[in-house]
Structure 1
Amino acid sequence: MDKITPKTSFGQWFSPINLQLFEENVKTMKVDYYTKKLTTESFFKLLLFAQL
């Protein structure tokens, strides 16, 4: 069995989400205005990974 796979199951599960549209909405609403390390995108990925 090959251990090196091009996409993980999490990456395949996350790929249908349009990150460009997500990023535009975050900039429009200025959600990440005061954040330095934990951005909205990384927080969203963390929540999805926790549900997995």
Structure 2
Amino acid sequence: KGFIRAETIAYNDYVTLNGEVGAKDAGKMRLEGKDYTVADGDVMHFRFAN
């Protein structure tokens, strides 16, 4: 239980592609694990299990 993965989009992609849906459709959203080092400007949605 706990952290599963983080859906991650670079900020520039997020802005250029008009948000989460545009970035996901363009294939710019990636899944990162617990060992990922967050970069400045990353937009993240955390998957978490209870």
If the TM-score is normalised by the length of the shorter chain, which range does it land in?
under 0.3
**Structure 2 length-normalised TM:** 0.25
More strand by share: 2
The TM-score with structure 1 as length reference comes to 0.24
Please say which structure displays the higher CA radius of gyration.
1
More helix by share: 1
Q: Highest relative contact order (Cα 8 Å, sep 6+), 1 or 2?
A: 2
